[in-house]
Structures are given as C-alpha cells and as structure tokens.
Amino acid sequence: MSESFEIVDAFMRYPQEPYLYRILTEFSVFKYLVSPSAPPGPASPTSAANSSPSRDGRLSLSSTENTRLTDVCTPWHASRIDLLDLPSRLSGVDTLDELQCHGQLTARVVTTRGRYGQCPTAICFWIWQPHFRYGLYAESKMYAAMEGHDIAPKFLAHITENRGRVIGHMLERLKVRLATIHDMGKCQAVLARLHGLGITHGGLSRHSFLIDDERRRAYLHGFVNSYHTTDHGVLQAEFNSLGRILPRKPDPLTVGQEKL
C-alpha cells in the first residue's frame, strides 16, 4: 500500500544518529520515519517506520511500528485544539517582536475566532521532539498550578498532534509592555500571588513581567525554571530582587513596542 506524504520537518540529534523525519500524510495524519539519509521513501500506514538501503541503493522500509510518542506536556486542561486546526498565522505580526514569545523557539500568533470569549488573539507554542520537551513541560506544569489565580496570561488549550498527543499549548495574547521601576507595586502584587502558592519564579528578570496598562496590572510569564518550595528565604530573596531588576528609565529599544 502506497501513501503520499509531505516532509514537514527533519531532525538529527547527533551526527552519528539517523535522521528522524516528521511527515504529514494525505490523510492529514502526522507520522515519523527514521532514515540513515535523506530523503526517505513513502510511508506505511503506521505511526513510525525505519528505512534502510536496499541492494539497488534505494531506501526501503525495514520495519514499522504502530507506536505513540510521549506527550510533550502532561495533559491537565479540558480544552484542546489540534495543530492542523490552528488558524492561520496573524498577518503583519513578527513573533520576534512579541514580548510573550521571548525565549521561545516555536510560536505562532493566531486569531481565536471568538472561540475563547474575550480573547481575540492567542499565542501558540509547541514542539514535537520528545527530547526537547523540558521547557514546555515545565511551563505547562506551572500553568496548571496557577490556574484561576490571575498570575499569568490565561491558558486556553493544549495543542495536540493527530488529535491525541499533546505537543504544546495556546495562551491568551495580551497588549503589554516591559516593566520599569514605576511598575514596582504591580510587580510586587503579582509576585506575591505566585509566592502565595509556594512557587518561586526561578529566573526573575525584567522580561518576566508583562505590564497591561488597560487592566492596570502586571502578569508573569516564562516559567521554565519555576518550582515549588517551602523555603521562605528563597521566596523573600526573589521578592527583594525587584528593586535591582526593574530599570529606573525606559529602555529606548522597547519604547512604543506595546502589542495588540
């Protein structure tokens, strides 16, 4: 049985290891193909396959597996949206300029089409390689702990692959700017709420705060290094660091970079 497909992505962890191809079949299903070289041949009706050189020099399938890769993030939220169902990228938006995309490798700003109430646009983060899941895994875990406490942008949905495997998440997109010393009160308030849950941010910097002038409040983001702790000394030291990390003058490179 033959099946046409499109190569969506390719990944080689180390030079001595084979390629891992992520392919999208004609039936709108993501599959994975392991190959010693590029490009691979047709995919079989399985979720993963291995290819090897045949006697005539062509690549042929040497084995197939009906297996499921592990979730990138532990599922906890009731809402899900599949990667293939994500709206098109919002035109005229560069994720490099989005404060909420700071430090993220894969991101897309999309319209929500009224699906998530008062949230007209959202930011999607995902990664399909299980080897690189740590960042999104850690952030999703923290969003679960903070749910309902108005500390971070709203967690809207898990992003899935093949309507099953969780590979990322969709967050509320805010109209925000970077914090300055004049936002000290707002930053203290949101950090105190985080600490009230027994969570330290773990990597606090100016870029950790999102200032929403319309809502007159600050939000936190970037929870890759966050963790639960009962050490009040750790929490107090982080709280006291605000005076050092918030600049007393606006950064000229970020003036006017408020996002819709």
What is the model's pTM? Answer: 0.74
Rounded-to-integer distance, Cα 226 and Cα 200, Å:
6
Give Dmax (Cα) for the chain. 71
**Which tokens sit at 207?**
């870029």
The sign of the torsion formed by the CA atoms of 84, 67, 168, 9 equals negative
80-172 and 181-245 have identical folds: no
Tens digit of pLDDT per residue, the chain (260 long)? 566 677 777 665 555 566 677 778 877 887 777 766 544 444 444 455 555 555 655 555 656 666 677 888 999 999 999 998 988 777 777 777 788 987 676 788 998 877 776 788 899 999 887 777 778 999 999 999 999 999 999 999 999 998 899 999 999 999 999 999 999 999 999 999 999 999 999 999 999 999 999 999 999 999 999 999 999 999 999 999 999 999 765 554 444 444 43
Q: CA-CA distance, 172 to 125, in Å (whole number)?
A: 11
Tell me which CATH code domain 181-245 carries. 1.10.510.10
CATH class entry, domain 80-172: alpha beta
| Per-residue pLDDT tens over the stretch 71-115 | 889 999 999 999 989 887 777 777 777 889 876 767 889 988 777
Residue-range domain boundaries for the chain: 5-65, 80-172, 181-245
- The vertex-144 CA angle with 207 and 187, nearest 5°, equals 30
User: How many Å apart are CA 96 and CA 146, to the nearest integer?
Assistant: 26
